[in-house]
Amino acid sequence: LARLHPAQATMLGTVSTIIYPYIIPMLLGRTFDLFTAQVGVDIFSQETIRTPIRIHRSFVTSDFRLIRNDTEARRFLGISEDVSLRVKSGVLKIGASGDYLRDIQTRDNYIEILVKSMYETFTETIHGSVNPIKDWDLLSPTYLGTHFVRSVTYGGMLLASLRLYVGSKAEKEALEDYLSSQFKFNEIQITLQETEDERRIRREMNSFEEKLEKMMYDVKNKMGTDLSLRIKYYSTVTAPHVPQDIPSFLSVLEDFPIEAQKVNGGKGVPLTVEMIPLSELSSRMIALKPNLWIDDTLGNLESKFDDLLLAHEKIKKLTDQPITDYNKKCKVRDLGTEVHDKLDVFKGVISHLDTASPEVTGLSERAIQAYEQKPVKKSYLDRYKDLEKEVEETSKEVNAIHPLSSNDVSKDVASNAVMGFLDPAKVLEQFGYLAEMAMANGMCASVNKFSGSFMTMRRNCSVGNVLNPMTCSTICNQLQTGPNFTDRGECVGVVASNLQTPGMLGAQGSGKAIGAQTANLGRAACDRPTCYKEYCCCRLTRFSSRFLK
């Protein structure tokens, strides 16, 4: 067995013919590695690929389903865990289904009815009697993969997320129970005759549409006027208009086959491929087997990846809003950095995913362990929600005490600057971390009479008689005063909070470097690689004797 531990062999079944979502650049006769999702090489002649058998299909398969979580959505769309992970990480692109999967949702305050409609125009396939090119099976297994594309089905796909917003968790649960008990969610297949006109197609669609419309009507009667509906649309073709309610959505659904026929000269877009194991073409190829033991591992990996993706999107939206409290702004940015770093770990693992490898479990555990390394056991989405509440509460308090508009704040800062000083708190609110660094750097030079002082990391300016460099949170709560001498110069901790000039500290003309007084700004949560609190104000040794006599 290739890429599979022998002990697993008795637990697994041989991989056979499969239907797989189309991904670029899949072509007829081209190989594909099912376990790494890598497109391979062409093993059939160009003449064979240019002259396939064309099978006219011309039918619509429509379905809708109550969706409670991402797992149910993925199964409804017929997408496996590994494909879903690769789509969400950006490794694969699979059309409308991929667009939907990448739109990570919480579903906290709404119930989702997912509508799927797929219109197939025809299938192109390689004739069973055609042989591949000579000695194709002598190519490297790395390039060949596990399967080859025997047929490609064209058409169009439409997905619509009907989101029923409710007022409370109890209402949501009651409505979910009602939908589950009252409606059977079964697939409906509708055959369309190419010789019929648009009205014929609409009549064929009526049974499905009436079922969907009846369900939405009953839901509205049950919930009353409190129900709010929003529709999110994913499709391989552009809708003639954006649906806002059920009647307009049903209109889009009716017109969908006609719109799909307008793409690519009536051909539509590639939707799915049929893939055959390479072992059926040559006895030299080994019949590979999937590792069924990794389903739970991949499911766990995907749930944590979804949590990070959701938190990442929420944090991005929060950072776009004005946050008046600098401490909260710092916490939001730090949580965003933590989530971003762990997403990088997950994406690295997913990009190297090989579902037939005995090492896949260990590789997945690497990402899961990185996820679990956090100060609290809450999910990242829950941590975001807690932080969002803190930000909202602080904003209310600030607005109640000092209800200034952004223009008022700018005028206040400008007037202070004219008077000869800046209120650090207002500067930090307006300009943040970069302003702090600039102010600290200016102070470093000024307290040493611009004698060649410079800002550098603490580790680059080690201080004698001092233990290992302190963490950001430790330095933040301490007072650093006076110079510390080393062979490389002198180092003074600088934190730009209460910015004091030498004159204010009574040190005018003393020539001694004086550290700025630090204040507890609640920075314990900060974890920046280049955190300004890890910087020192260093003065070269050759200047020291001149100013410290």
CA distance 393 to 397: 6
Average pLDDT over residues 290-306: 86
For residue 84, being part of any structural domain is answered with no
Evaluate whether 49 touches 27 at the Cβ level (below 8 Å).
yes
Residue 399 has a pLDDT of 60
Residues 142, 225 within the same domain: yes
Which range of residues forms the domain containing residue 425? 406-547
182-206 core/surface letters (b: 16 or more CB in 10 A; e: else): ebeeeebebebeeeeeeeebbebbe
Where among 269, 290, 311 does a domain terminate?
290
Residues 193, 48 within the same domain: yes
Residue 416 has a pLDDT of 39
Name the nearest CA neighbour of 535 among 472, 465, 442, 448: 472
Does 326 or 412 have the greater pLDDT score?
326
Average pLDDT over residues 470-481: 28
Would you say residue 232 has pLDDT above 80? yes
Where among 350, 374, 401 does a domain terminate?
401
Residues 304, 412 within the same domain: no
Residues 178, 38 within the same domain: yes
Look up residue 537 and give its amino acid.
C
Residues 132, 278 within the same domain: yes
Instruction: Count the neighbouring beta carbons within 10 Å of the beta carbon of residue 12.
Output: 16
For residue 51, being part of any structural domain is answered with yes
CA distance 319 to 278: 50
- Inter-CA distances, 432 with 236, 414, 429, 438, 527, Å: 43, 16, 6, 10, 15
For residue 76, being part of any structural domain is answered with no
Average pLDDT over residues 207-215: 76
Evaluate whether 112 touches 163 at the Cβ level (below 8 Å).
yes
Assessment of whether the complete model's pTM goes beyond 0.85: no
Residues 271, 300 within the same domain: no
Residues 412, 381 within the same domain: no
358 band by pLDDT with thresholds 50, 70 and 90? confident
Q: 75-110 pLDDT, tens per residue?
A: 999 999 999 999 999 999 999 999 999 998 888 889
Start-to-end C-alpha separation, the chain: 79
CA distance 2 to 71: 30
Contacts with 71 (C-beta within 8 Å, 6 or more apart), sequence order: 299
Residues 456, 479 within the same domain: yes
Residue 439 has a pLDDT of 59
Average pLDDT over residues 381-402: 78
Residues 262, 298 within the same domain: no
For residue 91, being part of any structural domain is answered with no
Q: 443-454 pLDDT, tens per residue?
A: 555 554 555 555
Among the ranges given (5-19, 55-69, 533-547), the one the predictor scored with the smallest mean pLDDT: 533-547
For residue 13, being part of any structural domain is answered with yes
Where among 255, 290, 325 does a domain terminate?
290
Would you say residue 39 has pLDDT above 70? yes
225 band by pLDDT with thresholds 50, 70 and 90? low
For residue 83, being part of any structural domain is answered with no
Residues 130, 256 within the same domain: yes
Q: Cα-atom radius of gyration of the chain, to the nearest Å?
A: 32
Residues 23, 167 within the same domain: yes
Q: Which of 259-268, 400-409, 421-430 has the highest mean pLDDT?
A: 259-268
Burial class (CB in 10 A: 0-12, 13-18, 19+), 120: buried
What integer best gives the mean pLDDT of the chain? 72
For residue 432, being part of any structural domain is answered with yes
Residues 283, 371 within the same domain: no
Average pLDDT over residues 401-420: 44
For residue 93, being part of any structural domain is answered with no
Count of structural domains within the chain:
3
